[in-house]
Amino acid sequence: MTNQYDAVIVGAGFTGLTAGLELARAGKKVMLLEADTAPGGLAGTFEFRNGVSIEKFYHHWFTNDEYVPQLVKELGLDNQIVILPSRTGMYYNGRFWRLSTPLDLLRFSPLSFIDRIRLGLLVFQVRRIKDWKTIEHLSIREWLEPLCGSNVFRIVWEPLIRSKFSVYADAVNAVWFWKKLVLRGSTRDKQGGEQLAYFKGGFGRLARAMADEICKHGGEIRYGSPVTGVRSNEGQIEALVTPAGEVLGRQFLFTPSFSVIANILEGVADANWIQSLRRVNYLGNVCLVLQLDRSLSDTYWLNVNDPGFPFVGVIEHTNFDRPENYNGNHIVFISRYLATEDPVWGYADDRYLDFALEHLRRMFPELDRSWVREHRVWRAEYAQPVTERNYSGYVPGRETPFRNAMISTMAQIYPEDRGTNYAIREGKSVAQALLSQLA
């Protein structure tokens, strides 16, 4: 690895792939170094033993997302986009509730009629906020409960926030929730329903198409190539250290989580800057992917609002994309956010399946282990950045202590939450900054 590259990118998730594609198209000599065996990052796919391919972690995009469809069109693959209706619901107090339309909301009897109206008007209330920094000092509860009332918060929102953010539930600032409500409110059709978009064959297939395009323009990607350190001199990085040797470059881009970047640059970069990276907390995610011989329900996205239920939701992917596209199998994602210190994080895969089925039977009493044709458990240590109060005041920016290195991670997408759409946006933006430096 003695050749010098114009740009060396750490990570072949969607930010790294997008930046690499922009640079390669501009005629630059690009190298992407990816620790995993395939591109896509958290949007990568895998195959069950019977050849059925699906994401490791559930994915779709919204109809008001701009950057994913634009990229797909650039690749000439816009005929691979499918727009599908979404069926959402809630499990509360031992019963399933459909929550796809305003009429469904009016039927949600666990709330009083007045509270149902307050819940329905919430989207309009949050749209009045134009400057998100005015609520950044508040927790979600401090901001949301006065708007919707204590009953609506306790029954509808608090269980989801606690499932999503675990030990950090009371620390996350109001901006995270405000942005979610604003974005979701703008995806509804005239009847109040919601449609979502998906890429045929999964986001991993899109990632591979991007990787192929990079290589077609002369770029290179090395998989199974974690970066373990750097060699620097007089405020510049000269090379990245990998198990296969050094990779030399003029410009460098780091796209993994802040914690991973801190580990790579520990002892080389300024200690205060390294500490600023470690100031941002993360939650891990354990995602159980089930291949079943039958469906659990007719709902795609089922939020679970019963106290004590250990999962943020039950996402039955084949109630979104048809089972016929998966050899007639039914694909279900069971997602749990948690601190990696939680004992459940260390469960063996079979033990985790037993743990999940025990709780799922509370919702689906007839569920039997014999329904499970195959299962996989995927873990992401840095799945969810935790945007605490006044996050914009302490989250590190793109610049680093090195004149020829930048960082671009999903923790910097704020005030938006992590997502493929914004990863692509940031990849395009940081690529332009790198091109300016190379010029």
Buried b (16+ CB within 10 A) or exposed e, 84-110: eebbbbbbbeeeebbbbbeebbeebee
> What integer is the mean pLDDT of 340-369?
96
Q: Which two tokens mark 306?
A: 């019963």
pTM exceeds 0.85:
yes
Q: By mean pLDDT, which of 173-182, 263-272, 375-384 is the weakest?
A: 173-182
Q: Is the pLDDT of residue 3 over 80?
A: no
Per-residue pLDDT band at 186 (split at 50, 70, 90): low
The 10 Å Cβ neighbour count of residue 413 is 19
- Answer yes or no: are the C-beta atoms of 409 and 256 closer than 8 Å: yes
> What integer is the mean pLDDT of 112-135?
91
- The fraction of the chain above a pLDDT of 90, given in percent, is 86
> What integer is the mean pLDDT of 337-355?
96
> What integer is the mean pLDDT of 340-354?
97
**Burial degree of 394 (CB within 10 A; 0-12, 13-18, 19+):** exposed
Calpha distance 273→255 (Å, rounded): 16
How many whole angstroms from its chain centre is CA 27? Answer: 31
Q: By mean pLDDT, which of 10-14, 106-110, 122-126, 387-391 is the weakest?
A: 122-126
**Burial degree of 397 (CB within 10 A; 0-12, 13-18, 19+):** exposed
The domain spans of the chain are: 4-59+202-281+387-438, 101-184, 282-385
Buried b (16+ CB within 10 A) or exposed e, 121-140: ebeeebeebeebeebbebbb
Per-residue pLDDT band at 182 (split at 50, 70, 90): confident
Region at 40 (left for phi over 0; alpha for psi -120 to 50; beta for the rest): left
> What integer is the mean pLDDT of 150-171?
94
The 10 Å Cβ neighbour count of residue 158 is 19
Q: Which two tokens mark 383?
A: 């799945």
Give 243-259 pLDDT, tens digit per residue: 999 999 999 999 999 99
> 4-59+202-281+387-438 maps to which CATH number?
3.50.50.60
Q: What is the pLDDT of residue 123?
A: 81
> What integer is the mean pLDDT of 25-44?
96
Per-residue pLDDT band at 185 (split at 50, 70, 90): low
Give 381-412 pLDDT, tens digit per residue: 999 999 999 999 999 999 999 999 999 999 99
**Burial degree of 269 (CB within 10 A; 0-12, 13-18, 19+):** buried
In the 8-state DSSP scheme, what is residue 188? B
Calpha distance 171→397 (Å, rounded): 21
Q: By mean pLDDT, which of 104-113, 322-331, 337-346, 365-374 is the weakest?
A: 104-113
Buried b (16+ CB within 10 A) or exposed e, 255-264: bbbbbbbbbb
Calpha distance 141→148 (Å, rounded): 10
In the 8-state DSSP scheme, what is residue 414? T
Q: Please state which of the four CATH numbers 3.90.660.20, 3.40.50.300, 3.40.228.10, 2.70.150.10 is assigned to the domain occupying 282-385.
A: 3.90.660.20
Please name the residues in contact with 51: beta carbons below 8 A apart, sequence gap of 6 or more: 327
- Which residues are 7's β-sheet partners? 30, 251
Q: Is the pLDDT of residue 144 over 60?
A: yes
Q: Is the pLDDT of residue 285 over 70?
A: yes
In the 8-state DSSP scheme, what is residue 417? P
Calpha distance 404→251 (Å, rounded): 5
**Helices 140-148 and 113-126: angle between axes, nearest 10 degrees:** 120
Per-residue pLDDT band at 63 (split at 50, 70, 90): confident
What's the mean pLDDT when you consider all of the chain? 94
Q: What are phi and psi of 275, to 5 degrees?
A: -65, -35
Q: Is the pLDDT of residue 173 over 80?
A: yes
- The fraction of the chain above a pLDDT of 70, given in percent, is 97
- Answer yes or no: are the C-beta atoms of 24 and 219 closer than 8 Å: yes
Per-residue pLDDT band at 1 (split at 50, 70, 90): very low
Calpha distance 53→109 (Å, rounded): 40
> What integer is the mean pLDDT of 269-278?
97
Show the DSSP H helices in 75-108 as ranges. 102-106
Altogether, the residues listed in the chain come to a count of 439
The reply to whether domains 4-59+202-281+387-438 and 282-385 share a CATH topology is: no
Calpha distance 281→278 (Å, rounded): 7
Per-residue pLDDT band at 309 (split at 50, 70, 90): confident
Per-residue pLDDT band at 192 (split at 50, 70, 90): low
Q: Is 288 helix (H, G, I), strand (E, B) or coil?
A: strand
